[in-house]
Amino acid sequence: MRLDEIPCNGKLLGFLASQPPCTVAMESCAGAHYWGREIAVLGHQVRLVPPIYVKPFVKRKSSTGQAAARADR
């Protein structure tokens, strides 16, 4: 499942708690390790991705279709 809109931090854990266990991929940054531990407690598998590999998936007006196509692979 791919989310087009990510819930804000206050609702993220509640949203993920209601989902069946899955793999959650996120860009590794200063707070990612904290969120990764919190999400792992809910039973999900967390993958931290280096920022250089996340850049192609950032949606911009000109590349929205290309980024969505890459994410569906």
Spell out the domain ranges in the chain.
21-71
Q: Please report the pLDDT score of residue 70 as a whole number.
A: 55
**Better pLDDT: 69 or 37:** 37
Are 47 and 73 within 8 A, CB to CB? Answer: no
pLDDT tens digit sequence for 12-60: 888 889 889 999 888 888 889 999 999 999 999 999 999 888 777 676 6
Which is more confidently placed, 71 or 40? 40
Q: Phi/psi at 62 (nearest 5 deg)?
A: -85, -20
According to the model, what pLDDT value does residue 65 have?
A: 54
- Choice between 70 and 14, residue whose per-residue pLDDT is larger: 14
**pLDDT at site 42:** 93
